[in-house]
Amino acid sequence: MLKISKAFFRQQSNVINLSIRALSTGTNSQEADFGFKKVKYEEKQAKVNEVFNNVAEKYDLMNDAMSFGLHRLWKNQFIQDIEPTPGMRLIDVAGGTGDITFRYLNYLKNLNPGHFDNSRDIVATVCDINENMLNVGKDRSINLGFQDKINWKVGNAENLILEKENTYDVYTIAFGIRNCTNLENVLKEAYRVLKPGGRFMCLEFSRTENPVFKRVYDFYSFQMIPVMGYLIAGDWNSYQYLVESIRMFPSQDEFASLISDCGFRLVSYKNLTNGAVAIHSGFKF
């Protein structure tokens, strides 16, 4: 109980800090959040890399265990909201093990199987800063027979140097943006690489307001998830980081404001599972 209260108070003070930071434009703070810890701005990326190096192998198993399989429903909903049509090119950033991309391709395949199988074009580019995650994804794509339709690239969401502007119809980032050091840079890059008329879609953990759900959720995430991480993946600290990084992320409205500030229009969001997860959407006009 005491631990939850302490975490709650830390969260409240950090919300204030974060609101100020979120509303400022283009300033790189000296420090960055690594969960509840503060680290030097430059160090955050390295620390995040380390986390995902450790978790890559067991990533999918842990997702199922931690969310009791719900992450599959969230991702399905995400793709449903996108409503892909043939010819729409996707860039899936922080796409790691490929969950979003595979769903996107499956959607297109079900829509028009003949067209899908006959087409030789690259449909999706998966970009991730961590090569281990990409390798897991690559292996999975071969099992699914999607390997010819996907480009796998190592890259930094804050600086997609390999991508030209105005290239993609859809930009997705699912459960990735909270690991980035500077959200604005990510959003600006997203804006840059999208074609006019293109859509930015983000699936991410967010804030729950329902007090009953919140208590259960807080207990579960702070107390149990690191334990599960240790039991399943042999790694306590990475999952401790995970639950803390969720609390440090801006609220639904704050994030929507930020997306707007970076040039997107018709910005909206939708809550899933009592706000534990939210889908944010914006267009480049």
Partner 1 sequence: MRLSSSVFNKETSSFIRTNLAQRTVLTLGSGLVSIFDPHRDDMISAFGELTSFQVLPKLHKQMSSDPEGSLILKERPIITSSILNLSKLATYPENTFGRKYVEFLKRNNITPDTRKPVRFIEDQDLAYVMQRYREIHDFTHCILDLKTNMLGEVTVKVFEAIQLDLPMCWLAGMFGMLRLGPKHTQAYLDKYLPWIIQNAKQSKPLINVYFEKHFEKPIDELRQELNLTLLNESESKAEQIRQKEFTENVN
Binding residues for S-adenosyl-L-methionine are 97, 128, 156-157
Of 111-170, binders to partner 1 (CB under 8 A) are none
| Distance separating alpha carbons of residues 30 and 187, to the nearest angstrom | 20
Q: What mask of x and - would describe binding to partner 1 in positions 169 to 208, judged by CB under 8 A?
A: ----------------------------------------
CB of 237 to partner 1, least distance (A): 7
Q: Of the listed pieces 108-116, 118-126, 228-236, 271-279, which binds partner 1 according to CB under 8 A?
A: 228-236
Identified binder of partner 1 from the candidate list 85, 112, 151, 223, rule CB under 8 A: 223
Burial of residue 84 (number of CB atoms within 10 Å: 0-12, 13-18, 19+): buried
Interacting residues of 151 by C-beta distance below 8 A, sequence separation 6+: 122, 124, 125, 126
Side chain identity, residue 69: G
Identified binder of partner 1 from the candidate list 227, 253, 265, 270, rule CB under 8 A: 227
| Distance separating alpha carbons of residues 241 and 246, to the nearest angstrom | 9
Contact predicate 263/217, CB 8 Å = no
Dihedral sign of CA atoms 26, 28, 34, 38 in order: negative
Of 235-254, binders to partner 1 (CB under 8 A) are 236-237
**Residues at the interface with partner 1 (CB under 8 A):** 3, 223-224, 226-228, 230-231, 234, 236-237
